[in-house]
């Protein structure tokens, strides 16, 4: 090992250092000055993002004896994670203050989670991946339970913890089988071992693979390993839900891409089938069950499952185009999800919690601007052009048709028509129903500006999707 | 300017609509601000119409291919272009759109009490999007306009509609959305085959029979819902009944034409062999629409529903005219059928718009659409009665009105194809007259039915202006359809030549 290698891991190390600073500083900050912690956390996220930009790995650099990789995929995903954690902080702040939850722990746990995500994204070995995953998962369990007097939150956290531990166990068990068969934990060595000996492509490896898929599907929230997701989305306080719904999805994509494509790309025929089944089930179950939901966070939870179905469908194709489509879809979905939860947070102010879809009734009377923003987000998720969600779906359909999976392409669009209903229901409640209370939305100017920009981004990205798509294609063409 | 005319026609109303949204209204339709919004909306739609006449004056009837072309790269990595152009098929439809929209704005002048700025903005944005559909020559651009068009209409029906509006608008959205996503899959398939989203590239690409059949079915799913053809027409009566008057007018006058336009622009030239294979089915469905839906219309007790079913029956003529091609020997009959379909689209646009406006005039006064609530309206509203009788006659296909021309051309063409096609199609002459005139008899003529009718007041200046403009155009198109037919002649001949070449 060479000391100069450390420079490539600068984002993680910087963030870790900054977390320590925030942690100690927060000890000496009074409750009424907690806003300082917010700014320190924002600063940490910003500096981390700048460090990511500063370390340009070119065509990819592997360091720490093959445990850590920095490449264009890690750059784009890390920037995404930092961005959405930062946006989440802005949305969360006023809500936390209003609900007497404004503690340093929220920011610290979120930052630790971000560290876990960065490690996952840059993992080049199973152990690094697992390390990052657990850092993220433990932070998220604690975040879900941050309102400790709230029974629902506590229940959600418990459920998440137990199921998450089982999923991690499955993943670790799968890793041990893969290690046993291929003799390595590093992705490129695993890939080389499989390429060198086709005889390895056999039952023991498939057995391990099945457990890996369970772990990955759990982290994504793919059916039938999705049971935790609606409960946790519903049970967690909304800023935590927003946190769960955005950046960790990018990390989960890295998990899938690094392990399945990077390490086990040679077994695409085998894992492709498993991923396809999970994807199809997610599309159908997510969309159909979401129809019946009355809790808006739960509904968005099932909607997430449906979107995960699209992402997994793109991964299943196994081509560079499919991978690029998965990346594009995840990035753009997360933009819309952040905005949607942002609007829910916005409506939850002043002790009132927006739980039910009916709570957004008549938003057009109360705030035409944010009703229009929410409409954009919902139509983007439903896949109406020219919003960016449409181009996400378009790329997935193109990848599917390119690989001659016409049936799956048709299935996916029909599933999204089913899904359109519950997005339309949100718009129906906002526009066609009278408001039940006329309270003016309270929120800081910065929240309003960020939320507006966030929502308009789905339109802007939809009008100019070319650059992002080119970027996504380049990520996989380079590697 | 003329080289950017289409872009101006598309974006002027759209940006104007967003400006109205941004300024907003105080909520009160009587406020000065709401009044200003109405004037701005009218001015924008009127300017758009005046500009669009440039399409007519600058149009070269003898030229083949597209005119007013604009093309630039939009999404390079996906091969998508911002590609606009019109020919003899799309130019009249764009003119119809710009002609109807100002009338709709006037018609909503003081009958819209809630959120007038949003209402007018929705119509302006919708206008731009509809023009975009007719002008787009790139698959994705077409799809963007086609799909986003649902959004303003969804809100128009949902916010300003009748009692059962939410059911109607959701049904409208989901029906059309399901149809169009299948079209999207076909688009992406064609993109994979040709490497671009250029509609003309698709027309030249060779395709296997299986692919052509699949693509035809995917297109059919999108366009049959939009036309709408039997048996996927059930969203239309619901949407029409619940929509505000302006929404019904736009829906009947223009949005239904999207389906017919899709067949003639995409299905026929891109998958000619697939279209030939399914032409028997298409003719059968069209004839069912003409005859069966005509009978259904006869039984309606709600005026808007009656006109909605009559629309479906009339649109049956459009699809009939388009798909007669392979049943006729010789090109003249084919040209006649297709021209008849096109003329029928334009004429139905004007007539159905006028009929819905007439019902709107009555509804504003009586708040009822039930035929049974009326009777003897001619006694209290003589001017209105004169207009409504004229439009009803046109709807029934009286010679001298525009309704006659298209239907007659299609019937002649179907005679050349098969006696029985013509026989069934001609039942419309009886059924159309029966349902329309029976409604007129019950609503307009007879003794004054009740006190409410006795208290009716005749048209105000605004309503008179709108109906008079429509009446003049109905007569003009009926007596002198030559300018319209000349405009589309060359394009249709060229189109039939394209369709005649097998792509197998």
Residue B396's Cβ-side half-sphere holds a number of Cα atoms within 13 Å equal to: 18
**Predicted pLDDT at A174:** 93
A20, two tokens: 């320590």
* Residue B124 Cα, gap to closest chain A Cα (Å): 17
DSSP string, A149-182: T-HHHHHHHHHHHHHHHHHHHHHHHHHHHHHHHH
A24-51 per-residue burial string, b: 16 or more CB within 10 A, e: under 16: eebeeeeeeebeebbebbbebbebbbeb
The residue whose two tokens read 């109303």 is B13
Residues of A in contact with B154 (CB under 8 A): 424, 427
Residues of chain A in Cβ contact (below 8 Å) with chain B: 368, 372, 379, 383-386, 390, 394, 397-398, 401-402, 406, 409-410, 413-414, 416-417, 420-421, 424, 427-428, 431-432, 464-466, 469-470, 473
Residues of A in contact with B189 (CB under 8 A): 401, 406
- B443, B354 in Cβ contact below 8 A? no
Interface with chain A: mutation pick from B139, B154, B186, highest number of A CBs within 10 Å:
B154
Q: In the predicted model, what is the mean pLDDT of chain B?
A: 87
Given an 8 Å threshold on Cβ–Cβ distance, is A417 in contact with B177?
Answer: yes
At B273 the three-state DSSP class reads helix
Give the contacts of A363 (CB within 8 A, at least 6 positions apart): A347, A370, A371, A374, A429, A430, A431, A435
Most trustworthy range by pLDDT among A379-393, B357-371, B390-404: A379-393
Give the contacts of A58 (CB within 8 A, at least 6 positions apart): none
pLDDT at B160 over 60: yes
Task: Choose among B148, B155, B191: nearest Cβ to A384.
Answer: B148
SS3 content of chain B, % helix, strand, coil (to 5): 75, 5, 20
* Residue B87 Cα, gap to closest chain A Cα (Å): 25
What number is the average pLDDT over the span A456-468?
A: 90
Residues of B in contact with A428 (CB under 8 A): 158, 166, 169-170
CA–CA separation, B438 vs B431, rounded Å? 10
Which long-range CB contacts under 8 A does B329-333 form with residues at least 24 apart?
A: B329/B416, B330/B416, B331/B493, B331/B496, B333/B413, B333/B416, B333/B417
HEC profile for B140-208? Answer: HHHHHHHHHCHHHHHHHHHHHCCCCHHHHHHHHHHHHHHHHHHHHHHHHHHHHHHCCCEHHHHHHCCCC
Given an 8 Å threshold on Cβ–Cβ distance, is B192 in contact with A413?
Answer: no
Give the contacts of B298 (CB within 8 A, at least 6 positions apart): B431, B434, B435, B438
> Residue B47: which of B98, B6, B5 has the closest Cα?
B98
Given an 8 Å threshold on Cβ–Cβ distance, is A413 in contact with B181?
Answer: yes
CA–CA separation, A317 vs A340, rounded Å? 29
The 10s digit of each residue's pLDDT in B39-97 is 888 899 999 999 888 888 888 888 888 888 888 888 888 888 899 999 888 999 999 99
The 10s digit of each residue's pLDDT in A372-411 is 899 999 999 998 888 999 999 999 999 999 888 989 999 9
pLDDT at B202 over 80: yes
CA–CA separation, A141 vs A344, rounded Å? 22
Task: Choose among A413, A414, A469: nearest Cβ to B78.
Answer: A469
A263-299 per-residue burial string, b: 16 or more CB within 10 A, e: under 16: bbbbbbebbbebbbbbbbbbbbbbbbbbeebebbbbb
Given an 8 Å threshold on Cβ–Cβ distance, is A385 in contact with B140?
Answer: yes
CA B288 to chain centre: 20
Cα distances (Å, whole numbers) of residue B68 to A11, A141, A423, B140, B332:
54, 61, 38, 19, 28
Given an 8 Å threshold on Cβ–Cβ distance, is B189 in contact with A421?
Answer: no
CA–CA separation, A309 vs A331, rounded Å? 15
> Residue B216: which of B136, B139, B147, B277 has the closest Cα?
B277
Task: Return the number of CB contacts < 8 Å for A and B.
Answer: 90
pLDDT at B325 over 90: no
Interface with chain B: mutation pick from A310, A387, A466, highest number of B CBs within 10 Å:
A466
> CA nearest A379 in B: which residue?
B151
The residue whose two tokens read 């499952």 is A305
pLDDT at B412 over 60: yes
What number is the average pLDDT over the span B292-299?
A: 89
- In degrees and rounded to multiples of 5, residue B50 shows phi and psi of -60, -45
CA–CA separation, B285 vs A230, rounded Å? 46
Q: Report the DSSP beta bridge partners of residue B468.
A: none
pLDDT at A38 over 80: yes
HEC profile for B48-82? Answer: HHHHHHHHHHCCCCCCCCCEEEEEEEEEHHHCEEE
Cα distances (Å, whole numbers) of residue A376 to A209, A423, A435, B181:
40, 10, 20, 19
Q: How confident is the model at residue A199 (pLDDT cuts 50, 70, 90)?
A: confident
Least confident interval from A14-23, A84-93, A440-449, B72-81: A440-449
B178-202 per-residue burial string, b: 16 or more CB within 10 A, e: under 16: bbbbbbbbbbbbbbebbebbbbbbb
Q: Report the DSSP beta bridge partners of residue A61.
A: A70
Beta-strand relationship, B80-86 and B67-75: antiparallel
CA–CA separation, B415 vs B337, rounded Å? 10
> CA nearest B80 in A: which residue?
A466
Rama region for A352: left / alpha / beta (φ>0; ψ in -120 to 50; rest): beta
- For residue A70, the surrounding DSSP H or E stretch is strand A68-70
DSSP string, A79-103: HHHHHHHHHHHHHHHHHHHHTT---
The 10s digit of each residue's pLDDT in A164-194 is 999 999 999 999 999 999 989 999 899 999 8
**Predicted pLDDT at A351:** 64
CA–CA separation, B30 vs A429, rounded Å? 26
- A433, A305 in Cβ contact below 8 A? no
Interface with chain B: mutation pick from A358, A388, A402, A413, highest number of B CBs within 10 Å:
A413
The 10s digit of each residue's pLDDT in B299-309 is 888 888 899 99
Q: In the predicted model, what is the mean pLDDT of chain A?
A: 89
Q: How many CB atoms lie within 10 A of CB A149?
A: 8
**Between residues A443 and A364, which one has the greater pLDDT?**
A364
> CA nearest B117 in A: which residue?
A368
pLDDT at B1 over 70: no
pLDDT at B123 over 60: yes
**Predicted pLDDT at A80:** 95
| pLDDT cut 70: percent of chain B above it | 98
Given an 8 Å threshold on Cβ–Cβ distance, is B147 in contact with A372?
Answer: no
Burial of B72 (0-12, 13-18, 19+ CB in 10 A): exposed
Q: Is the pTM of this model over 0.90?
A: yes
CA–CA separation, B504 vs B487, rounded Å? 31
The 10s digit of each residue's pLDDT in B211-248 is 899 999 999 999 999 888 888 888 988 888 888 888 89
The 10s digit of each residue's pLDDT in A99-125 is 888 888 999 999 999 999 999 999 999
B167, two tokens: 């059911």
Interface with chain B: mutation pick from A313, A376, A385, highest number of B CBs within 10 Å:
A385
At A290 the three-state DSSP class reads helix
* Residue B160 Cα, gap to closest chain A Cα (Å): 8
Given an 8 Å threshold on Cβ–Cβ distance, is B170 in contact with A398?
Answer: no
**Angle (nearest 5°) at CA A368 between A364 and A372:** 90
> Residue A258: which of A177, A352, A167, A323 has the closest Cα?
A323
Given an 8 Å threshold on Cβ–Cβ distance, is A431 in contact with B188?
Answer: no
Residues of B in contact with A460 (CB under 8 A): none
The residue whose two tokens read 């792509």 is B503
pLDDT at B25 over 70: no
A276, two tokens: 């396809």
The 10s digit of each residue's pLDDT in A339-382 is 999 998 888 766 677 778 888 888 888 888 888 899 999 999 99
pLDDT at A86 over 90: yes
Q: How confident is the model at residue A478 (pLDDT cuts 50, 70, 90)?
A: low
- A424, B175 in Cβ contact below 8 A? no
């Amino acid at each position: 090992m060479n000391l100069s290698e450390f420079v490539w891991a600068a984002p993680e190390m910087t963030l870790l250092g900054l977390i320590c600073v925030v942690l100690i500083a927060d000890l000496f900050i009074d409750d009424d000055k907690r806003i300082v912690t917010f700014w320190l956390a924002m600063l940490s996220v910003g500096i981390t993002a700048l460090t990511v930009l500063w370390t340009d790995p070119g065509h990819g650099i592997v360091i720490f004896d093959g445990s850590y990789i920095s490449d264009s995929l890690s750059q784009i995903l890390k920037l995404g994670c930092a961005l959405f954690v930062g946006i989440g902080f802005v949305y969360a702040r006023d809500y936390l203050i209003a609900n007497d939850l404004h503690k340093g722990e929220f920011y610290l746990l979120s930052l630790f989670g971000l560290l876990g995500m960065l490690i996952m994204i840059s993992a080049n070995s199973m152990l690094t991946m697992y390390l990052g995953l657990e850092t993220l998962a433990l932070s998220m369990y604690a975040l879900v339970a941050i309102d400790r007097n709230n029974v629902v939150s506590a229940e959600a956290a418990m459920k998440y913890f137990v199921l998450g531990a089982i999923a991690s166990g499955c993943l670790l068990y799968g890793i041990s089988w893969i290690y046993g068969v291929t003799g390595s934990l590093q992705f490129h060595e695993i890939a080389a071992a499989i390429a060198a000996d086709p005889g390895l492509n056999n039952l023991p490896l498939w057995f391990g693979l099945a457990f890996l898929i369970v772990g990955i599907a759990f982290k994504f929230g793919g059916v039938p390993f999705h049971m935790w997701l609606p409960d946790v989305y519903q049970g967690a306080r909304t800023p935590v839900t927003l946190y769960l719904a955005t950046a960790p999805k990018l990390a989960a994509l890295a998990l899938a891409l690094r392990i399945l494509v990077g390490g086990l790309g040679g077994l695409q025929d085998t894992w492709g089938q498993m991923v396809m089944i999970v994807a199809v089930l997610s599309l159908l179950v997510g969309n159909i069950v979401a129809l019946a939901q009355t809790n808006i966070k739960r509904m968005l939870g099932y909607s997430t499952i449906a979107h995960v179905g699209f992402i997994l469908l793109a991964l299943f194709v196994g081509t560079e185009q499919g991978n690029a489509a998965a990346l594009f879809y995840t990035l753009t979905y997360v933009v819309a999800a952040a905005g949607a939860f942002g609007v829910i947070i916005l409506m939850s102010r002043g002790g009132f919690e927006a739980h039910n879809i009916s709570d957004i009734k008549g938003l057009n009377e109360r705030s035409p601007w944010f009703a229009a923003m929410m409409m954009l987000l919902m139509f983007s998720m439903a896949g109406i052009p020219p919003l960016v969600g449409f181009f996400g779906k378009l790329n997935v359909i193109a990848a599917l048709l390119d690989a001659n999976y016409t049936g799956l392409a048709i299935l996916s669009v029909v599933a999204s028509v089913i899904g359109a209903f519950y997005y339309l229901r949100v718009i129906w409640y906002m526009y066609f129903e009278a408001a039940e209370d006329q309270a003016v939305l309270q929120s800081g100017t910065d929240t309003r500006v960020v939320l507006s920009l966030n929502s308009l981004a789905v339109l802007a990205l939809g009008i100019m999707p070319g650059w992002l798509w080119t970027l996504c294609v380049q990520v996989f063409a380079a590697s | 300017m003329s080289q950017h005319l289409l872009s101006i026609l598309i974006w002027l109303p759209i940006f104007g609509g967003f400006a109205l949204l941004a300024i907003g209204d105080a909520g009160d339709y009587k406020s000065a601000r709401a009044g200003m919004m109405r004037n701005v909306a009218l001015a924008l739609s009127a300017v758009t119409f005046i500009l669009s006449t440039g399409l007519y004056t600058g149009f070269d009837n003898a030229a083949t291919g597209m005119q007013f072309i604009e093309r630039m790269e939009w999404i390079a990595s996906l091969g998508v272009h911002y590609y606009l152009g019109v020919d003899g098929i799309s130019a009249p439809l764009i003119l119809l759109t710009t002609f109807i929209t100002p009338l709709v704005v006037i018609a909503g002048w003081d009958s819209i009490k809630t959120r007038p700025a949003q209402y007018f903005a929705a119509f302006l944005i919708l206008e731009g999007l509809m023009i975009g559909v007719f002008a787009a020559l790139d698959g994705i651009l077409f799809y963007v306009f086609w799909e986003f068009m649902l959004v303003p209409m969804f809100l128009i029906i949902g916010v300003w509609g009748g009692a059962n509006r939410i059911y109607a608008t959701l049904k409208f959205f989901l029906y059309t959305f399901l149809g169009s996503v299948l079209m999207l899959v076909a688009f992406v398939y064609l993109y994979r085959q040709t490497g671009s989203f250029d509609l003309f590239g698709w027309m030249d690409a060779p395709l296997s029979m299986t692919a052509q059949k699949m693509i035809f079915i995917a297109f059919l799913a999108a366009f049959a819902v939009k036309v709408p053809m039997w048996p996927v027409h059930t969203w239309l009566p619901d949407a029409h009944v619940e929509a505000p008057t302006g929404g019904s007018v736009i829906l009947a006058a223009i949005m239904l034409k999207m389906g017919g336009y899709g067949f003639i622009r995409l299905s026929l030239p891109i998958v000619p062999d697939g279209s030939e294979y399914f032409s028997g089915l298409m003719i059968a469905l069209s004839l069912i629409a003409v005859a069966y839906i005509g009978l259904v219309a006869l039984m309606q007790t709600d005026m808007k529903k009656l006109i909605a079913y009559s629309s479906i029956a009339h649109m049956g003529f459009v699809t009939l005219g388009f798909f007669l091609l392979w049943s006729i020997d010789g090109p003249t009959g084919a040209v006649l059928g297709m021209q008849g379909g096109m003329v029928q689209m334009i004429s139905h646009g004007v007539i159905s718009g006028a009929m819905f406006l007439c019902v709107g005039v009555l509804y504003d006064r009586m708040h009822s659409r039930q035929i049974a609530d009326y009777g003897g309206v001619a006694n209290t509203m003589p001017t209105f009665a004169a207009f409504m009788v004229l439009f009803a006659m046109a709807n029934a296909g009286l010679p001298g009105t525009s309704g006659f021309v298209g239907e007659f051309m299609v019937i002649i063409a179907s005679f050349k194809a098969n006696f029985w096609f013509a026989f069934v199609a001609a039942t419309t002459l009886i059924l159309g007259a029966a349902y329309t005139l029976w409604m007129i008899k019950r609503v307009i003529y007879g003794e004054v039915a009740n006190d409410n009718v006795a208290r009716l007041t005749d048209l105000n200046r605004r309503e008179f202006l709108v109906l008079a403009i429509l009446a003049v155009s109905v007569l003009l198109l009926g007596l002198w359809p030559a300018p319209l037919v000349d405009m589309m002649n060359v394009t249709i001949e060229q189109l039939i030549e394209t369709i005649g070449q097998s792509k197998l």
